[in-house]
A and B are shown apart, each in its own frame.
Chain A
């Protein structure tokens, strides 16, 4: 297979095109701008629509409208813009409309900075907006995965009629790496039965998140809860040298690739360490961590934040082994030497 060099943001855009996405609505923000720039050029060539909205709020509501017609629709932003989109994301989840939302994270809170971060984990995995809902969350760790997981994101969104979020960060978006693109093929996607496309003499259909009767709204919530339960089967993760690991590191995205390199160095020094990398953050690989907790002596969670995913690691480990945490913020991430020192410290306890 031929390898090509691409920036992460561009590979994601190419993945969306390959998945049959023909609609993008967004508003610019660093560090994800190459993604809309790429699609602004490519979507019209592919017979699609690229639209830069007046704001993130406008963009996410265009996503709701376009996706309601059964088309594959994408939007992308970074932290501050994703916050603005939350109202719309809640409406999309409540209306059970599939779409893909990309967050190429930067440091916060507030305007923060433009350097890479993993500070939006809570926002992504807890729903983010108001109401009681979940989004599927995928965490790529390479340019290849930005391409591959985008196709998966659309498939999962369609399968569950639910928004899927791709959670990357500035490093992944900006970096260039070799990527293998799939041979392009015309995907024939039937228009789903729930899509609203004009009555055309048929039965009227309604897409809404408004249920004023308490019984009807509870029934809707129960239905959503059953769906989120079913989504648990989509959990994906990677384990690296965990078979005999005394200390298991847990990291996702960019942080996971840095940790993987450090684990390799630690093994050379004789430290029995391994890595569990969640590929889906919701659903979270709690069972896999639980199994490791039966034999590992400790866990070390590493994030580009002050500690968010570590809460899920603690819930999964459930007191069976100590869980420690190491995090950096603001665009700074740990060096291999710092990670080695943290591993040695965790193994002493």
Chain B
């Protein structure tokens, strides 16, 4: 098993955190994991992304150039990674922030209104968890419980109250993906 994932979006959408939760969950489940952020001279409001690799053997390159799965949280990410995704790969995009654009016939395309779903649950900032939930519904890389445990281990004490919202968002994303 080798899964090479790109998570990409605007700064502030929680793409880095989503990637870190995936590798923490993967590590706890005994997988080989790596994470690396894009660290160029990024602009405020610009697009940020991270590469996540989950594997059952030691990881070569932590930098993903041709992803097998993509979470595109905004339109620039959609446009950047659509042509780079491996044939047969999974491409999940945040349909709340873009008009339905033509996808690729050789990919598993899934539009998730992540920001709207998260808004409905109380905070649009949980859109990253909705996207993660959708990813794990289509590719059961790690258990959703491991993601929540990873979040609990990451959040400082005074932010632990955010756990129920994030758990709901993760579940809502999975339910949306399963219904499609």
Contacts and interface: CB of A to CB of B under 8 A. Distances in A.
B23 A174 contact: no
A47 B20 CA distance: 31
A201 B62 CA distance: 57
A261 B23 contact: no
Contacts of B40: 114-115
B107 interface: no
A177 B57 CA distance: 14
A177 B65 contact: no
Contact of A174 (B20, B33, B37, B66): B37
A261 B36 contact: no
Contacts of B63: 171, 333
Contacts of B62: 171, 175, 177
A258 B58 CA distance: 10
B27 interface: yes
Given A261-B59, A335-B65, A176 B27 contact: no
Q: Label chain B's interface by main secondary structure.
A: loop
Interface string A174-201: 1111100000000000000000000000
Contacts of A264: 57, 60
A307 to B, nearest CB: 20
A262 interface: yes
A332 to B, nearest CB: 9
B152 to A, nearest CB: 14
Which of B27, B58, B61, B66 has the most A CB atoms < 10 Å from its CB?
B61
A114 B37 CA distance: 13
A9 B84 CA distance: 29
A252 to B, nearest CB: 14
A286 to B, nearest CB: 26
Contact of A5 (B27, B41, B61, B66): B27
A335 to B, nearest CB: 6
Contacts of B61: 254, 257-258, 261, 333, 335-336
Given A5-B27, A336-B60, A176 B66 contact: no
Nearest to B36: A175
A335 B27 CA distance: 25
A30 interface: yes
A5 B20 CA distance: 9
Interface in B21-68: 23-24, 27, 33-37, 39-41, 57-63, 65-66
A175 B34 contact: yes
Interface of A: 3, 5, 30-31, 114-115, 170-171, 174-178, 254, 257-262, 264, 333, 335-336
20 contacts: A5-B20, A5-B24, A31-B39, A114-B41, A171-B62, A171-B63, A174-B36, A175-B34, A175-B35, A175-B36, A177-B59, A177-B62, A254-B61, A257-B58, A257-B60, A259-B60, A260-B58, A260-B60, A262-B60, A264-B60
